[in-house]
Structures are given as C-alpha cells and as structure tokens.
C-alpha cells in the first residue's frame, strides 16, 4: 500500500499514521481542526479496562493493559514528553437503594480476565479518599486502573508520525469523497480545488465518521453522544484516584439513541465522576445528550457548545461529593461528540462496496486499546486480512448490507 490518507488526527489516526509511516508507507493525516482537538483530548484521562466487552474485546484489552507501560516508556523516550502515566484506583460509589452485589456481578468477566475488582465498605472508601463525602453511600466497587495525559499521549503519537515521515495537514475540513465507480480517488475538502489523493483512505474521524461515510454511500451504524465536562483551577491534593457514582443508565441511553437512528437531541443523562490531574486540576464529568442523526450538529465540521445548565449540574455533583472544592473556579469546559456502536464494539475494516476505504472508529476507552489496536490495524492494512480483528468488521452488521472484503476481493 504505497499511499494512505487518514482522516482524523485523534489518538487513533495519529497512532496509525506513526505505525504506517514506520513501515515505509507514505501517509497523509488530515483533520478539520488540530491534532487532538476532539474526543481524544476531551475525557477524564482514564486508561480503563473496566468497560471492555466480554470476548475478543476483553482479550485484547487484557493484552493492551499488559503492554501499555512499555508502550508509554517507548513513546516518552522517543519524544521526551512526560505522558503523566500513573496507576490509580477507581471507586464506583454504590448508593443506597442499589444492590451492591449486582454492581459487582456486572464485572465478573473482568475478574475472570485477571483484573482486580472488589466491593469495599464505606470505611475503606474513606481511608482511600478522605475528602469525599460518603452521604448515602453503602459500598463502592474498587478497581486498579490508570490515568494518562490524553493531550500529551496523542501529541506524542503525532510527533512520532512526523519523525517517521508522515505529513500532517490540519485546519482542512473533509467534505466528501470523489468517486470513480466503487473506488475512492480523492478527498474533497472545504475551500480546496484539488482533491487529496491516495491508494487507501482510512476513516478514523470519531463522531464524524458516519457523516463522512454517508458521502461515499455507506450508512454505518455508528452514532454519538455529546459529553459535557469541566476543569477547575489547580487545587491542593483532594483526590487520589477517580471517584464516580455507580449506575446502569449508560447502555439503555445509548441503545435508545441508536434505535432512533442517532437522532436524540431530547435525550439527556447526568452522571458524576471526578479525577485530579498531576497538576492539581479537577476534571469533572459528565452530562451527556444526544444529537442529530448523521453527525455532530447534522454535518461534519460543526461543533456543539456546552448547554445552559450543564456547568450547574457538574458543579452540584462535585460539591456534593467533594465539599472542599466548593470555592474552586472553573477554567474551561467542553461539549464533545463521542462515537459508539449498538454492540459497543469498534468498527474496523473495509466493505466490499468501497474496496479502498478502511474504517477505524467507534472505539471504547481508546487510551488503553489504541497502541495495540493500531499495530493490528497496520498488519491488516499491509497484509489485506483482518485476522484477529475480524469480529470488529463492518460485515457484522447484515442489516446495513455490508460484506467483509476478504484478501483478493
């Protein structure tokens, strides 16, 4: 594969650009904004294994978790950046009226995979997080996970890609694909005369993937929520890990949104979680809501704004659980679209109707899985065979008329 064009300079696109360029492939990485301008930087910095789905996804997450420290050390040595990688505990507070055993049972597959997860009482929670108000808390699910600076992590991959010879083009919005029969022969971009040409086009545009795929005649069953969160000024140490409230509303929320074809501007879900960065800032999330069906605000390029009342809801949750942060100033907030699929698995691979379009989108917890997944995707691109990634192929959605493109197809 002589010339690959990657759309989307988030962590997936940057890692793919680096690994492809290091394998001698000519790479152009293009983004409508800047590197790490989307959901790759708009998160709580968590390296999560706890939301891995049973099966292949969990197996890969276990491998990714084991390999991640070496991957981080390698990136830091190559770039000179401190990625602020650290092991942390996460506490999901089980409130009165919930069944603690049910909260723990939902992670039985994680325990079987060797991940530490256990139920602890309020006294143990207080010993770990003495600043947290435990009113109405009867227990917590304790897990040992990790955190990393998502901006530095993605920028390190981008730097590695540049060093390997990849061209990174920012501030250029892709509006569609130029077709010649079933094949893509170029990217159409806003305000540009000549299309961006390549042999293979990798669509790694996060929440914009579906809207862009539609311009090539492909209706991917990938949707998005819009997550709202905020960051406070730097504060003295208050939290030692992540503290959030347990709940089971996320999956029904996303399934309802998918059942509507992604059109759910009236849907809203408020959850609480907070973590303190190594610089002392509290990151607090999140309020989620749906959006228009095809892409953020209906078309690629438009970005949602923080809704009125979201900051109030975030602040209320923070002060209730962390009273010492009552006087903290909020220094920034975001509303970013985050993709998901109905089965909560990524979409990776090509479809027969567009043989030189490769989809790499819909990842859950991209910070943990991307270093491994990018290696496997590069192998699939070069070898022409998805191999162990086949369960994530677009071909698993027969209702969309997809058919996996096999080698030689």
Domains, the chain, ranges and CATH? 3-78+150-221+343-400 (3.50.50.60), 87-145+223-340 (3.30.9.10)
CA 166/CA 162 separation, integer angstroms: 5
DSSP states of 94-129: EETTS-HHHHHHTTHHHHHTT--EEEE-HHHHHHH-
- pLDDT tens profile 196-249: 999 999 999 999 999 999 999 998 999 999 999 999 999 999 999 999 998 878
pLDDT of residue 351: 82
Confidence of residue 298 (pLDDT cuts 50, 70, 90): very low
Mean pLDDT lowest for which of 12-26, 152-166, 236-250, 272-286? 236-250
How far from each other are the two terminal CA atoms of the chain, in whole angstroms? 15
Q: Which helix (H) or strand (E) holds 213?
A: helix 209-214
Average pLDDT over residues 148-152: 97
At which residue do the structure tokens 């191999």 appear?
387
Average pLDDT over residues 339-368: 92
pLDDT of residue 191: 80
pTM value is 0.93
Confidence of residue 193 (pLDDT cuts 50, 70, 90): low
**% the chain with pLDDT above 70:** 93
Give per-residue burial for 307-327: e unless 16+ CB within 10 Å, then b. eeebbebbbebbeebbeebee
Sign of CA dihedral 120, 123, 129, 132: positive
- Collapsed DSSP state (helix, strand, coil) of residue 360: strand
Instruction: Single out the residue of 70, 49, 242, 41 nearest to residue 152, CA to CA.
Output: 41
CA 272/CA 401 separation, integer angstroms: 39
Cβ atoms of residues 315 and 228 within 8 Å = no
Whether 297 shows a pLDDT value over 90: the answer reads no
pLDDT of residue 337: 92
Strand partners, 95: 137
Tokens in use for 388? 């162990």
């Amino acid at each position: 594969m002589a010339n690959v064009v990657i759309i989307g300079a988030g962590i997936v696109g940057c890692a793919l650009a680096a690994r492809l360029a290091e394998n001698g492939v000519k790479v152009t990485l293009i983004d409508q904004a800047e590197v790490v301008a989307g959901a790759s930087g708009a998160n709580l910095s968590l390296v999560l294994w706890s939301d891995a789905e049973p099966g292949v996804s969990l197996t890969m997450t276990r491998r990714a978790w084991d390999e991640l420290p070496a991957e981080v050390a390698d990136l830091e040595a190559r770039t000179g950046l401190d990625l602020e990688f650290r092991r942390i505990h996460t506490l999901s507070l089980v409130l009165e009226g919930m069944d603690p055993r049910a909260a723990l049972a939902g992670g039985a597959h994680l325990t079987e995979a060797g991940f530490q997860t256990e139920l602890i009482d309020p006294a143990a929670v207080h010993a770990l997080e003495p600043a947290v108000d435990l009113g109405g808390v009867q227990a917590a699910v304790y897990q040992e996970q990790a955190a990393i600076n998502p901006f530095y992590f993605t920028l390190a991959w981008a730097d590695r890609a540049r060093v390997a010879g990849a061209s990174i083009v920012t501030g250029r919005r892709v509006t569609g694909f130029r077709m010649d029969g079933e094949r893509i022969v170029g990217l159409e971009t806003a305000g540009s005369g000549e299309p961006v040409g390549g042999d293979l086009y990798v669509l790694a545009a996060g929440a914009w993937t579906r809207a862009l795929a539609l311009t090539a005649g492909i209706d991917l069953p990938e949707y998005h929520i819009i997550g709202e969160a905020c960051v406070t000024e730097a504060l003295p140490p208050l939290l030692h890990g992540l503290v959030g409230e347990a709940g089971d509303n996320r999956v029904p929320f996303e399934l309802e949104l998918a059942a509507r074809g992604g059109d759910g501007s009236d849907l809203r879900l408020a959850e609480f979680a907070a973590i303190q960065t190594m610089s002392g800032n509290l990151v607090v999330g999140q309020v989620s809501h749906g959006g228009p069906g095809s892409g953020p605000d209906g078309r690629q390029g438009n970005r949602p704004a923080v809704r009125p009342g979201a900051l109030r809801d975030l602040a209320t949750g923070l002060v209730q659980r962390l009273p010492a942060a009552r006087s903290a100033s909020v220094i920034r907030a975001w509303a970013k679209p985050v993709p998901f699929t109905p089965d909560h698995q990524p979409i990776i691979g090509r479809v027969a109707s567009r043989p030189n379009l490769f989809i790499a989108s819909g990842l859950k917890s991209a910070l943990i899985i991307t270093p491994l997944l990018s290696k496997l995707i590069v192998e699939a691109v070069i070898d022409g065979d998805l191999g162990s990634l086949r369960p994530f192929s677009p071909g698993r959605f027969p209702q969309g008329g997809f058919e996996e493109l096999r080698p030689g197809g």
